[in-house]
Amino acid sequence: MMFLPVLFACLDPNPQESGGGWALRWRLDGGTALEGFGRGIAGISDLEGDSASDVIVGIEGWDGVVESSGKVTVYSGATGLAIFEFVGTEFLGSLGHSVANVGDVNGDGVEDIAGGAPFESPGGAAYVWSGADGRVLHRFTRSEIGAIYGRYIAGAGDVDGDGAADVLVGSERSSVFGPAAGASFVYSGATGAQLLVLGQSAARNAQDGDGLGDINADGLADLVISDFLNGGSVAVYSGADGSVLYRIPSVAPFDGFGGSLANIRDIDRDGVNDFIVGAPAPQAGVRKGRAYVYSGVSGMLLMDLRGNVDHDEFGFDVAGGMDVNGDGYPDMVVGAHFGGSLEQGAAFVHSGLDGRLLAELVGETPFDLFGHAVAMTPDVNSDGLGDVVVYSHGADYGASNAGSVNLLELHSYLTADPRKVSAAAGETVTFALDFPDSEAGKVWQLLLSTDRAGQITIGGVHIPLMLSPLLRRTLLDPPAIFSSTSGVLDPSGDAMTIATLAAGQASAWVGFTLRFAAVSLDLPSNPRLSSAGVRIAVVP
């Protein structure tokens, strides 16, 4: 109870982030020089039934059938073992140059997998495979020679309103809108029929693109696509008719604006998804990149994120949409493949709440080009938090410049099992606290609040909860369901407590999600470290 007065402490200018350091869960290495192992990466929900999300990896330079035929492999997020392998068959076809989780295109309740082969003849190809059994659902092609069709591939969302996810494919040199101007194509996930062709004349369209969800309230998913003319611009297109809803020009001439972009879900809490755009070269001669976050509704600039090293190409790739620290806001990751003091490369994790830097992840060895591609995957370790995937383009672990894929997870300090409780049946929930050894002998406190997104900052420590009557009650008069809500951490910095709910006891909370966090304290009431947030849903 001595912790309560500091709930109203002043904000600290250099606060401690919630959760601990980031750890490498696994690293997978290419086996052949210049293989491009991980040139395309994407996260996908659990495909093999182990409750851990998985990772799609494109290997465009793989020489298995013929030289650089390429392949796409789906790996278990839990173990790093292969689940599916899709092999290219054409000389220099480069299957795996791009990959994506395109959502559930065939209505079986399982997310599906896509990969681009932009150099298959005559103009490139894009494939969609079932996430349930690996069979080919669609193969899309262009007859235009050298169209680089499959430059990017993405989930479009439901563009035609039939309930199935659709597919977006970029063709960097298609001549639909002008000689080699580029174009993006939207296809029905259900039937494979072409729905839309998007682009403009002489703009080098189709550098990158993504589905954006419904931003204009017409019930159909919309799309965001970049071009590269005179430094780049980004256009948001209506999924209903392909018209341009608005366009955002580059911030500076020739800044690489739009070289990467991604849907990052709703960070400004207006009910509409937002997006991030990379600009890895904002000034001529100084390649300290930037990444810009925009409102999906209006295109208004929400955040301006910046690299920290000259020539880092911060913004070379971007991703987002997963909450990595449990504060209820989707976060973002930005790749800077020339970052670090020796061009190890770096990936920067930024808060969707306020844009602050949550973590700087740096490559292991010089010239790894760690951060050449970045992605997020929903949850590989059952902590309820998103995890980060990073491609090292220059990694030599398996062979010279073969590339590697790194899956990183946050040490959250707090886990709960189970994270869904039945009010009717009752439940026993076990909370395990796992703070660093430095916290041995310190007081711990378990905190409980509603799931309203946000955080409080106390004594220089970010705690991923919001003030609420429930939080105050936890401190002043802890519910009797807990064996304890405070205690002393053991010599390893660990503790455990249990919440026991009798049948029907949580009936008033059905439909709600509760958020928990744990802190370590210096007496009398100074927080030292906070866990990430942990959510528990109450169901009937």
Q: In angstroms, rounded to a whole number, what is the distance separating the alpha carbons of residues 102 and 148?
A: 20
Helix boundaries (H) for 130-253: none
Element of type H or E holding 249: strand 244-249
CA 104 vs CA 35, 40, 131: distances in Å:
30, 20, 8
Q: In angstroms, rounded to a whole number, what is the distance separating the alpha carbons of residues 111 and 108?
A: 8
Residue with tokens 């309740």, as numbered in its chain: 109
User: What string of pLDDT tens digits covers the 540 residues of the chain?
Assistant: 344 434 433 333 345 677 777 999 999 999 999 999 999 999 999 999 999 999 999 999 999 878 999 999 999 999 999 999 999 999 999 999 999 999 999 999 999 999 999 999 999 999 999 999 999 999 999 999 999 999 999 999 999 999 999 999 999 999 999 899 999 999 999 999 999 999 987 667 889 999 999 999 999 999 999 987 656 899 999 999 999 999 999 888 888 899 999 999 999 999 999 999 999 986 665 568 999 999 999 999 999 999 988 889 999 999 999 999 999 999 999 999 999 878 899 999 999 999 999 999 999 999 999 999 999 999 999 899 999 999 999 999 999 999 999 999 999 999 999 999 999 999 999 999 999 999 999 999 999 999 988 888 888 889 999 988 999 888 888 889 999 999 999 999 999 999 999 999 999 999 999 999 999 998 877 899 999 999 999 999
**What are 184-230's pLDDT values in tens digits?**
999 999 999 999 999 987 667 889 999 999 999 999 999 999 987 65
* CATH code, 488: 2.60.40.10
Q: In angstroms, rounded to a whole number, what is the distance separating the alpha carbons of residues 8 and 86?
A: 55
Q: In angstroms, rounded to a whole number, what is the distance separating the alpha carbons of residues 8 and 478?
A: 20
Element of type H or E holding 499: strand 494-501
Residue 488 is assigned to a structural domain of this protein:
yes
Q: In angstroms, rounded to a whole number, what is the distance separating the alpha carbons of residues 162 and 158?
A: 7
Would you say 236 and 299 are in contact if contact means Cβ atoms under 8 Å apart?
yes
Would you say 128 and 72 are in contact if contact means Cβ atoms under 8 Å apart?
no
Residue 160 is assigned to a structural domain of this protein:
no
The three-state secondary structure class of 142 is: coil
Residue 523 is assigned to a structural domain of this protein:
yes
- Reported as half-sphere exposure (CB side, CA atoms, 13 A), residue 361 has a value of 29
Residues 6+ apart with CB under 8 A from 207: 151, 152, 170, 172, 182, 226, 227, 228, 232, 258, 259
Q: What is the DSSP letter of 345?
A: B
Residue 170 is assigned to a structural domain of this protein:
no
Would you say 99 and 81 are in contact if contact means Cβ atoms under 8 Å apart?
no
Would you say 446 and 520 are in contact if contact means Cβ atoms under 8 Å apart?
no
Global pTM reads: 0.93
Q: In angstroms, rounded to a whole number, what is the distance separating the alpha carbons of residues 352 and 344?
A: 26
Beta-carbon count within 10 A of 216 CB:
16
Q: What is the DSSP letter of 11?
A: P
Q: In angstroms, rounded to a whole number, what is the distance separating the alpha carbons of residues 236 and 221?
A: 11
The three-state secondary structure class of 234 is: strand
Would you say 104 and 165 are in contact if contact means Cβ atoms under 8 Å apart?
yes
Residue 430 is assigned to a structural domain of this protein:
yes
- How many structural domains does the chain have? 1
Strand order in the sheet with 346-350: 314-322, 331-336, 346-350, 357-362
Range of the domain at 459: 4-14+414-539
- Phi-psi category of 437—alpha, beta or left, where left has phi over 0 and alpha has psi -120 to 50? alpha
Concatenate the DSSP letters of all residues of 504-524 into one string.
TTTGGGTT-EEEEEEEEEETT
Distance separating the N- and C-terminal Cα atoms of the chain: 32
Residue 222 is assigned to a structural domain of this protein:
no
Would you say 300 and 326 are in contact if contact means Cβ atoms under 8 Å apart?
no
Beta-carbon count within 10 A of 12 CB:
13
Q: In angstroms, rounded to a whole number, what is the distance separating the alpha carbons of residues 336 and 346?
A: 5
Q: Does the CA dihedral 292-104-379-343 come out positive or negative? A: negative
Residue 499 is assigned to a structural domain of this protein:
yes
Q: Which residue type, as a one-letter code, is found at position 318?
A: V
Q: What is the DSSP letter of 475?
A: H
The three-state secondary structure class of 5 is: helix
Residue 481 is assigned to a structural domain of this protein:
yes
Q: In angstroms, rounded to a whole number, what is the distance separating the alpha carbons of residues 314 and 322?
A: 20
Q: In angstroms, rounded to a whole number, what is the distance separating the alpha carbons of residues 365 and 60?
A: 23
Q: Tokens at residue 312, please?
A: 């880092």
Element of type H or E holding 278: strand 274-279
